[in-house]
Structure 1
Amino acid sequence: MAQTPRPTHPPSIDEAWAFTAAHASATTFFFDFDGVLSPVTDDPDASQPAAAVLGTLERLAGVVQRVAIVSARPVSFLRSRFASLDHVDLYGLYGLEVWHDGKVVTNLAAEPWVPAMAELADRARAELPASTLVEYKRLSVALHYRTAPHEAPAVERWGHEQAEQLGLRIQAGRMVVELKPPVDQDKGMVITEGVRNAGCAWYFGDDMSDIKAFDALRAREAVDPSFFGVAVAVANPETGAEVSSAADLTLDSPDAVAAFLNEGLRSFGV
């Protein structure tokens, strides 16, 4: 492996890409979906990857060890958007589901909660304001108030009441409250495991849940001086300041992510 010195934080873009290219065979790229590879939409089902994303990820997967998407979306949704990509791993529902080598693996501790999540979704539709978009994800329920931000207090209060009564966990996000089973699994844990044997890793995120992934890169660097992790924030007016302050680099949109990757791929000679 090339002996390129590990950059200090925050690295310059040129330093980060030079180290990555020199360690390509031991490098993993991780991406959140909403807000990073796709613009955030009022209707979650309408979200699609930005135009340049699919081709860019395919090119990237051809030169590094691994490319993975780590999302709050179910694997079934991610598969519908990335079915054309043969060499990209998919982590759905914060890692409760994983698509790898052509099959879905579900966290066994979460599986028994499927009926409770379905019942919760039905009650949310009946009890919350009609403007609340209730997204049932089999192993979690997301309560979106993007189209009616004035309903945030009522939606958040209801969500926290249900979490306390049912023993669920709350994941706050961009204009959404998500209820999940009480199973230890988050994006930070996905990254901790995913970089165990890596020499370099990048994580692109835009929301509060992504900060745990950034922290996992820092923790890996702390125990392995040869490892280099790059945390990239995709800024937004809702959670952008806090996420950006935890990152090494900041981009402003999914289109900018694709352009940044395409520019960086020149370091690999492709």
Structure 2
Amino acid sequence: MTVATKINALMRCALDDISLFLDLDGTLAPFTDTPEAVGPDIARNALIRNLAMRLEGRLAVVSGRPIADIDRILEGVVPAVAGSHGLQRRDARLDMIVAPIHSGVAQARQEIAAFVRKYPELHVEEKPLSVALHYRAEPTLEPVVDIFAEDLARRTGLKLQRGVMVIEFLTPGMDKGRAVRAFMVEPPFAGTRPVFVGDDLTDEDGFRVVRSFGGIGVLVGGLRETFADYRLGNVDAVHHWLARGLQTECLELETAIEPSYRRI
């Protein structure tokens, strides 16, 4: 098997050599005012289905959304999925692994509901193993949300996960990186070189883990401090890159992360 090479900052990965891990929101699907507004897209889902088939199942979606919601948006075209930041995982054989819910989640739901009554611009996203508080509609509330979130996480024992204009209260114990690691020791992923594509702070765990397997992280969006190696500009650029890779049998990138932004 050939391996990915870098020549003058060029990344080249033959599809036969890799496993592909993809975030959903901000990577495969654009952000909307509320998470519920994201829905199926015929062209995108056909592309992902064809990629999964070409990779012989070595494609997994790794998202903060619950698996049921991922399946709704992608119309079930991807068998291997990690949801809720890895707290739910469906392997390539369709076996499900689900973490037990933390006792603090119920308290968090109650206190967040009361908090949102004071700030109706906020949006609550209920998940099976967690609850998320979005402030996309009013970014100026970030300092208030942050203070509330730190206190609530401390009192409930929940993991506090920050994202793009969202703070999530999670059952502790998993993250996207650990989910990727679990996939990488199982067939059909084992023995391949992982490529992880994501946009959010939660994807940094994935970037860090694929690096430990000799893999490559691809950041989507604006340049920031990151464990990723390369960058794509937006969701449309991701779709174009994947479609071209399917056509040419090879994923290629030229925009390497500048050394000053690379986390070690």
Counterpart selection for 2:59 from 55, 62, 67: 67
User: Are 1:122 and 2:110 an aligned pair?
Assistant: yes
Alignment match, 2:33:
42
Displacement of 1:247 after TM fit? 2.0
Closer/same/farther in 2, CA of residues 9 and 88 from structure 1, 3 Å limit: farther
> What SS does structure 2 have at the residue aligned with 1:131?
coil
Contact kept, 8 Å, 2:134 with 2:165, in 1: the verdict is yes
The structure 2 residue matched to 1:56, chosen from 19, 24, 47, is 47
CA change 1:186–1:9 in 2 (3 A) is: farther
Q: In 2, distance between residues paired with 1:9 and 1:188?
A: 27
The alpha-carbon distance between structure 1 residues 164 and 52, as it changes in their structure 2 partners (threshold 3 A), is same
Distance 1:145 1:21 in 2: 39
> Contact 2:104/2:157 (CA < 8 Å) preserved in 1?
no
**Distance change >3 Å, CA 200–CA 162, structure 1 → 2:** same
**1:233-266 CA distances to partner (integer Å, 9 max, x unpaired)?**
1114xxx4234xx322211221211110111112
TM-score (norm 1): 0.82
C-alpha RMSD of the superposition: 2.2
Structure 2 residue 228 is the aligned partner of structure 1 residue 235:
no
- Partner amino acid, structure 1, of 2:30: P
* Aligned length in residues: 242
Partner Cα separation in structure 2 for residue 117 and residue 216 of structure 1: 27
Among 188, 199, 206, the residue aligned to 1:213: 206
Q: Runs of 5+ in structure 1 lacking a partner?
A: 222-228
234 and 51 in structure 1: CA distance in 2 versus 1, 3 angstrom threshold: farther
Quote the offset at 1:174 in angstroms.
0.4
1:118 Cα shift?
A: 3.6
CA displacement 1:22-74 (0-9 Å, x = unmatched): 42xxx311111110011011111111355532111111111114111100101
Instruction: Find the counterpart in structure 2 of residue 204 from structure 1.
Output: 197
Q: In structure 1, what is the equivalent of residue 146 of structure 2?
A: 156
* Percentage of pairs with the same residue: 29
1:121 and 1:63, CA in 2 relative to 1: closer, same or farther beyond 3 A?
same
Q: TM-score, normalised by structure 2?
A: 0.84
Secondary structure of the residue aligned to 2:191 is coil
Corresponding letter in the other structure for 1:32: D
Match of 2:121 among 122, 131, 155: 131
Query: Residue 162 of structure 2: SS of its match in structure 1?
Result: strand
Distance of aligned partners of 1:63 and 1:150 in 2 relative to their CA distance in 1, 3 Å threshold: same
Q: 2:261 matched to which residue of 1?
A: none
Give the whole-Å Cα distance in 1 for the aligned partners of 2:199 and 2:234. Answer: 10
1:123 positional shift? 2.1
Q: Deviations over 1:92-126 (max 9, x none)?
A: 1111112344454312xx33x2x642442232121
After superposition, residues 80-91 of structure 1 pair within 5 angstroms as 80-85=72-77, 87-91=78-82
Residues 259/44 of structure 1: CA separation in 2 closer, same or farther (3 Å cut): same
Correspondence 1:93-112 to 2 at 5 A: 93-100=84-91, 101-102=93-94, 104-107=96-99, 110-111=100-101
8 Å contact kept, 1:21–1:268: yes
CA distance in 2, matches of 1:232, 1:117: 32
The 1-side partners of 2:5 and 2:53 are apart by 24
**Contact 1:30/1:204, CA 8 A, preserved across alignment:** yes
Please say which of residues 157-166 and 251-260 is displaced more in the overlay: 251-260
- Of 165, 168, 182, 1:175 maps to 165
The whole-number CA distance in structure 2 between the counterparts of 1:98 and 1:194 is 9
- Say whether residues 1:7 and 2:5 are aligned partners: yes
Which one-letter code corresponds to 1:75 in the other structure?
I
C-alpha change, 1:22 and 1:40, in structure 2 (3 Å) is same
**2:259 match:** none
Cα deviation for residue 208 of structure 1 reads 0.9
Q: Could you say if the C-alpha distance between residues 11 and 194 of structure 1 is closer, same or farther in structure 2, counting changes exceeding 3 Å?
A: farther
Residues 239-258 of structure 1: pairs in structure 2 closer than 5 A: 240-243=223-226, 246-258=227-239
Extract unaligned runs of 5+ from structure 2.
251-264
